[in-house]
Structure 1
């Protein structure tokens, strides 16, 4: 219906990220991936605007888990916005945040490296 999902992919979703992109669409348009009632309640209970940036590489095997978890948060809570950036297309992010590896999560100008699931994201932003 034209409503934003709160999920934006800056780049070409290919490589390992093609699945992440499709799974986020599936989560928005269908029943989505399984999520526990406790996780869903925790995501919906998050208040205020939250903007996360996820910096990835299309060849990274650990990036999709973070992208899919972040996408799920955005789909379930209108106050969450996710921007996913391919580090190869946005070298200014690499320089600005001194990114040495991916996946990299930027939230409130704080950096967190490594793959994360929904529970770990909830701990970071909750």
Structure 2
């Protein structure tokens, strides 16, 4: 059974007509012991068929260890959205429900080569010199989560130091428990709580800078 209905395909194809540069989806999966790997693979396959500028590469997480290490993939299902380079944009879990819109926005952003962030935020992100790992915990039925995930992915696009993950909380309950996720979206940076809820761009930047200052002070 197809994930995307015919009407959805028509609308998505129209949106993808605006793709300027090629975009690659790199997907890590395995046949056994993986919730939603099969479904995620099918969803990405259906999506990739809707544009000549969108390609899908599939790797076995257990067998293709070299590729998993190259992209620092530590859990599955995992989807990387990349263009001419890897921008650190990751989806862990199936990007369905509201999160499918985030995947589409990411594809469009990578294709046009512009994050859409303010000049002030871009400059601040370019000034970051230490690695940052953003994790945004979501559920597919959360209407405010796409905004939080997309903003984190915009940050990753602008800075080579930032990797930003969407983490579907119900698929990775051990991580939701570890980071005390009581509500979604919740954003964590370098294992420190940053913000709960969908923060606007200036707030996320400010909170991220606070985390980095605290790390320097404690080092």
Does the TM-score normalized on the shorter chain lie above 0.5?
yes
Structure-2 residue corresponding to 1:103? 185
Larger relative contact order (CA 8 Å, sep ≥ 6): 1
59-68 vs 18-27, greater mean Cα deviation: 18-27
Structure 1 unmatched ranges of 5 or more:
none
State the alpha-carbon separation in 1 of the partners of residues 175 and 187 from structure 2.
Answer: 11
Q: Per-residue deviation at 1:31?
A: 4.8
Q: Per-residue deviation at 1:98?
A: 2.1
SS in 2 for 1:106: strand
Q: Which has the larger radius of gyration?
A: 2
Q: Does 1:114 align with 2:193?
A: no
CA RMSD of aligned residues (A): 1.7
Q: Does 1:124 align with 2:207?
A: yes
The aligned length equals: 126
Q: Does 1:18 align with 2:109?
A: no
Q: Per-residue deviation at 1:75?
A: 0.7
Q: What CA deviation, in whole Å up to 9, does each residue of 1:11-56 have, x standing for no partner? A: 1111111111111222222054533222222222222111111110
State the alpha-carbon separation in 1 of the partners of residues 201 and 119 from structure 2.
Answer: 12
53-62 vs 108-117, greater mean Cα deviation: 108-117
Contact 2:117–2:154 (Cα < 8 Å) also in 1: no
Structure-1 residue corresponding to 2:157? 75
109-118 vs 9-18, greater mean Cα deviation: 109-118
Contact 1:73–1:118 (Cα < 8 Å) also in 2: no
SS in 2 for 1:5: strand
Contact 1:14–1:58 (Cα < 8 Å) also in 2: yes
Change (3 A) 1:33 1:5: closer
TM-score by length of structure 2 reads 0.53
Change (3 A) 1:52 1:34: closer
TM-score by length of structure 1 reads 0.89
Structure 2 unmatched ranges of 5 or more:
1-82, 210-219
